[in-house]
Chain A
Amino acid sequence: MKRFRALRTRDIVRIAVLIMPLLFGVGALAYAAPAQEPGAAAAHGEEEHGSAGDVIMHHLLDSNVMAFEPFGEFELPKIVVGGFDISITRHVLFMWIAAVILLLVFGYVGSKYKSIGNRQAPGGLANAMEALVEFIRLDVAKSNIGEGYEKHMPYLLTVFVFILVLNLLGLVPYGATATGNINVTLTLSVFTFLITQVSAIKAHGIKGYLAHLTAGTHWALWIIMIPIEVIGLFTKPFALTIRLFANMTAGHIVILSLIFISFIMKSYLVAIFLSVPFSIFIYLLEIFIAFLQAFIFTMLSALFIGLASSHESHEAEAAH
């Protein structure tokens, strides 16, 4: 009789990787449960939950109702203050959850550094977070901003991990992507815009800042130069907004559409061979895009701050 060796961790990991598609398949079906009624009822022309497009929109848009589909739902409070609707919606709730996660993780890591001191390298979570922070410090902040990058490190780090956690929270079942809401991404871009302008004014002074708007052309051209430059000032944060928002929303639309294809076609064959494998592939791609978009937002913020507060090149140009 052959002797079997003990089951090691890497064997368990290999088994988990092989049955992962099955787990994702079950998870995807649970996620898409509300679409079962329209699949059956649409044939009769009457719709209880709405068509697939309506369900997709319901998953993507913000709402006051936190729904855990087969189990029930609960409604979040509506708060209206003086005509402004500041009620707590799903996206607000997920931003708070992300904030709590970040406070816990980085609070723990920071206190670990304080208790260890200078003598030892940190282990575990602190080590992993140090790799992240060093990556942002060297490759993103220092290479783009140059000197004086330490002032902007807190903002860049915060924005990176915040966007990352929000993107990843949208991928778990029952999660909602707060960065898929254009108001959230617009706010983050406005922060970048304000920091860029303030650092430009600090580096060049008000006169230098206004002089940049004319970009060193003859005064007769100012009348068209200044509007173009002002528009150019605003397109960069606008592009940041739309890029993050559209990437997150489009990814979720693709995932949901692929899952609902099997309900619309009402066939097991399509479900097994088309819907589930493609959904898994797009899901994994979405995880990669979550990281990538957080990195791109941070890198472009650092780039704009660096461009706005650059010192040396102008004196060299003026010397000519």
Chain B
Amino acid sequence: MEGLGNEGLGYLGAGIAAGLAALGAGLGIGQIAGSAAEGTARNPEATADIRTTMIIAAALIEGVALFGEVIAVLLVLK
């Protein structure tokens, strides 16, 4: 296990952090898209409003996921 020095652990942590952030974003946005599809199916007249809300919520969740990515990049650069 000689490759597992401080730098190696840093890279490992960065990889896990980025993966978990992407996982969280995928789950969250998937739920939003599912609810949006269901809402549109129930009420096709509100499609435009639901679509706008969905896009806004997706962008906000993606912002949170990118916080995690930024920390991963900081880990790799240090």
Chain A residues proximal to chain B, CB less than 8 Å: 239, 242-243, 245-247, 250, 292-293, 296, 299
Contacts and interface: CB of A to CB of B under 8 A. Distances in A.
B13 interface: no
Contacts of B60: 243, 296
A61 to B, nearest CB: 11
25 contacts: A239-B63, A242-B63, A242-B66, A242-B70, A243-B59, A243-B60, A243-B62, A243-B63, A243-B66, A245-B70, A246-B63, A246-B66, A246-B67, A246-B70, A247-B62, A247-B66, A250-B69, A292-B55, A292-B59, A293-B59, A296-B56, A296-B59, A296-B60, A296-B63, A299-B56
A93 to B, nearest CB: 25
* Max chain A C-beta neighbours (<10 A), residue from B55, B66, B70: B66
Contacts, number: 29
Q: Is chain A's interface secondary structure helix, strand, loop, or mixed overall? A: helix
Interface of B: 55-56, 59-60, 62-63, 66-67, 69-70
- B interface, by DSSP: helix, strand, loop or mixed? helix
Nearest to B60: A296
Contacts of B69: 246, 250
Contacts of A243: 59-60, 62-63, 66
A82 B6 CA distance: 40
Q: Which 3 A-B pairs have the closest CB atoms?
A: A243-B63, A246-B66, A296-B59
A72 B64 CA distance: 40
Contacts of B62: 243, 247
Nearest to A288: B55
B65 to A, nearest CB: 9
Nearest to A247: B66
Nearest to A57: B77
A275 to B, nearest CB: 21
B59 A250 contact: no
B51 to A, nearest CB: 12
A139 to B, nearest CB: 8
A245 B66 CA distance: 9
B25 to A, nearest CB: 11
Nearest to A292: B59
Contacts of A292: 55, 59
Contacts of A296: 56, 59-60, 63
